[in-house]
């Protein structure tokens, strides 16, 4: 068996690397995919964190000083918010089958009265991804309360439970339910009930105690349309703005390190009861959308589509439009976290998917 010294010698050319990987050639190949984009001037910053069994590989790239660099996680935030909801389910303070109007009485007009918490978390509620006036709200630095009011009133796209449609506004209302039950803001609730128990010291919904300069800059020139699409006029509300970084949007506003994201994923692979009991953790990573076009758990994407090409049906995770992809595969006991500064509109095909393919085959 290769010892640590021999392995570190083998990977000496890879800066900021820590590895105990059983397959260093695979890890090196994955790292080279990322480094190529840095060398070409396309990618500014990235961190790769892979665990397979007892072996771990970490590497920082570009402007990321080390593997503990903090990135805007974008839609991976949805899994964190969902975990907060499930903490309350685990305690018996809500049930996934409860109608949302039980906790948000004004969310009762028409078919809204039939929407369940589970549908909010599995993208089957009929709510839209973003509000029609999303740009207007962000450009005027609206608080989350205005987004909540808009989500409560916005027209449904279809009858609840009949289709799948990716919807950030459903996650927003699930977060609102947590706040109404606990009388606590979601960032504080998640910090106490999820992040601290798991040792996620480099994670916060919003900036928390971190400063903007403590985090990695997003390459907003390639941002998604709903996030400004790189328009200079959007600089006061885009991904890098103090407004967005502090908003703590429960569908896309969390910050975290690759190691912390891996700890979160591993808590579902090996639940300890620190956050959720094993049965509840398992419930989150099973498919809840049988018969629909997507495979969704509670807050999670369920594999293998969207992860590495050789991932199994027992894989789960999430991607993020800021250029992030994180998944775990129970079949191979593998956790893979790829955090980049390059929006997924570009990085998905050039970095995220190719790296995931290499790792899943390792």
Q: Show the CA angle centred on residue 187, arms to residues 72 and 339, nearest 5°.
A: 20
Confidence at residue 20, expressed as pLDDT on a 0 to 100 scale: 37
- Section 78-91 average pLDDT: 98
DSSP single-letter state for residue 54:
T
Q: How confident is the model at residue 16 (pLDDT cuts 50, 70, 90)?
A: very low
Q: What pTM, to 2 d.p., does this model score? A: 0.93
DSSP 3-state of 254: strand
Is the per-residue pLDDT at 199 higher than 50? yes
Per-residue pLDDT of 21-56, as tens digits, reads: 448 889 999 999 999 999 999 999 999 999 999 999
Q: How confident is the model at residue 8 (pLDDT cuts 50, 70, 90)?
A: very low
Q: Which of 359, 275, 282 is nearest to 55 (CA)?
A: 359
- Section 273-277 average pLDDT: 96
Confidence at residue 244, expressed as pLDDT on a 0 to 100 scale: 98
Edge-to-edge order in the sheet of strand 254-256: 71-72, 254-256, 204-205
A 10 A CB-CB count for 91 gives 11
Sign of the C-alpha dihedral computed for residues 39, 340, 24 and 315 taken in this order: negative
Two structure tokens written together for 134: 């999303």
Edge-to-edge order in the sheet of strand 315-320: 17-19, 55-62, 45-52, 334-340, 324-329, 315-320, 301-302
Confidence at residue 362, expressed as pLDDT on a 0 to 100 scale: 65
- Section 54-82 average pLDDT: 97
| Contact between residue 194 and residue 275 where contact means Cβ atoms under 8 Å apart | yes
CATH architecture label of 71-360: 3-Layer(aba) Sandwich (3.40)
Is the per-residue pLDDT at 297 higher than 60? yes
Confidence at residue 343, expressed as pLDDT on a 0 to 100 scale: 97
Confidence at residue 323, expressed as pLDDT on a 0 to 100 scale: 98
Tell which wins on pLDDT, 59 or 229: 59
CA distances from 122 to 25, 116, 220, 296, 297 (A): 38, 10, 28, 6, 6
A 10 A CB-CB count for 225 gives 13
- Section 107-132 average pLDDT: 97
Confidence at residue 232, expressed as pLDDT on a 0 to 100 scale: 87
Q: Distance (Å, rounded) from C-alpha 205 to C-alpha 190?
A: 8
- Section 1-26 average pLDDT: 46
- Section 156-170 average pLDDT: 97
- Section 179-205 average pLDDT: 98
């Amino acid at each position: 068996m290769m010892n640590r010294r021999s392995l570190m010698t083998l990977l000496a050319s890879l800066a900021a690397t820590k590895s105990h990987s059983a397959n260093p050639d695979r890890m090196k190949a994955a790292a080279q995919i990322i480094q190529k984009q840095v060398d070409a001037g396309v990618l500014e910053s990235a961190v790769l964190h892979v665990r397979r069994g007892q072996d771990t590989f970490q590497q920082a790239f570009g402007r990321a000083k080390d593997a503990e660099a903090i990135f805007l996680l974008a839609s991976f935030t949805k899994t964190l918010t969902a975990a907060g909801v499930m903490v309350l389910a685990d305690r018996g303070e809500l049930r996934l089958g409860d109608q949302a109007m039980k906790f948000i009485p004004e969310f009762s007009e028409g078919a809204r009265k039939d929407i369940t918490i589970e549908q909010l978390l599995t993208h089957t509620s009929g709510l839209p991804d973003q509000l029609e006036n999303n740009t207007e709200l962000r450009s005027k630095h609206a608080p989350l309360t205005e987004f909540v009011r808009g989500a409560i009133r916005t027209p449904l796209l279809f009858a609840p439970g009949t289709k799948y449609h990716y919807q950030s506004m459903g996650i927003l209302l699930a977060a609102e339910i947590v706040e109404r039950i606990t009388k606590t803001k979601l960032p504080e609730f998640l910090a106490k009930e999820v992040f601290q128990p798991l040792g996620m010291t480099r994670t916060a919904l919003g900036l928390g105690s971190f400063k903007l300069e403590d985090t990695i800059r997003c390459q907003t020139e390639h941002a998604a349309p709903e996030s400004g699409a790189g328009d200079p006029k959007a600089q006061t509300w885009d991904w890098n703005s103090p407004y967005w970084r502090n908003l703590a949007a429960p569908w896309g506003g969390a910050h975290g390190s690759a190691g912390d994201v891996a700890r979160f994923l591993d808590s579902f692979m090996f639940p300890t009861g620190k956050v959720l009991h094993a049965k509840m953790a398992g419930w989150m990573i099973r498919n809840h959308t049988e018969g629909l076009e997507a495979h969704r758990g509670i807050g999670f994407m369920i594999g293998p589509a969207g992860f590495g090409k050789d991932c199994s049906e027992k894989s789960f995770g999430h991607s993020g439009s800021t250029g992030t992809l994180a998944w775990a595969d129970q079949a191979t006991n593998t956790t893979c976290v790829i955090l980049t500064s390059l929006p997924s509109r570009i990085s998905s095909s050039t970095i995220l998917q190719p790296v995931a393919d290499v790792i899943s085959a390792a």
